[in-house]
Structure 1
Amino acid sequence: MSHVIKKHVIFKRDKWNMVTVEVNGSRLVAREISDQWGEDTHTFLSRPALMQWARERFPRDLFEGTDEEYDAMMEAFRNV
């Protein structure tokens, strides 16, 4: 039986600035791709751990975008 890795695009500004989450069994792998910092990978073993990281990594008051964009991004994390 092969594992199917499901990829969720959390947000994407262009091909150089995005966050994705891959679900591989019980592992959740968040990838941040930035034109400034390159690629950064974070692995989580639970959805609550992913959500805690997302809230700490993307605090609302430092988010560069509209409230609607922020809410959509957090909803995308919750839907992983």
Structure 2
Amino acid sequence: MFKKHQIYKRDKYNMLTVEVQGKTLIVREISDEWGEDCHTFVGRPEMMNWAEKRFRPEDFKGSEEELANIMSAFKQV
């Protein structure tokens, strides 16, 4: 059985989840703009590196609190 972490969910078309499958982490990003995007990482450091680039403060369209919550959720995976 895989452990699934919800990073954020705005509605059924805008969400990001992480599935932990042993050492493999699968990030599924679903948006009404882009559809589903799937990223596979071998280990947490690789996923965190991606998350820090994907959710850069200067590019994030949302509040600082929302960004902090997203990054906190990634760190708890």
TM-score interval, smaller chain = over 0.9
1:53 counterpart letter in structure 2? W
**What's the counterpart of residue 32 of structure 1?**
29
Match status 1:16 vs 2:13 = yes
Deviating 4+ runs (over 3 angstroms): none
Q: Normalization by structure 2: what TM-score?
A: 0.96
Match of 1:54 among 48, 51, 55: 51
Whole-angstrom distance in 1 between the partners of 2:20 and 2:35: 21
Q: State the identity as a percent.
A: 56
Tell me how many residue pairs correspond in the alignment.
77
Segments of structure 1 that go 5 or more residues without pairing to the other structure are none
TM-score, scaled to structure 1: 0.93
Q: Which one has a bigger Cα radius of gyration?
A: 1
- What is the letter of the counterpart of residue 29 of structure 2? E
Equivalent residue for 1:44? 41
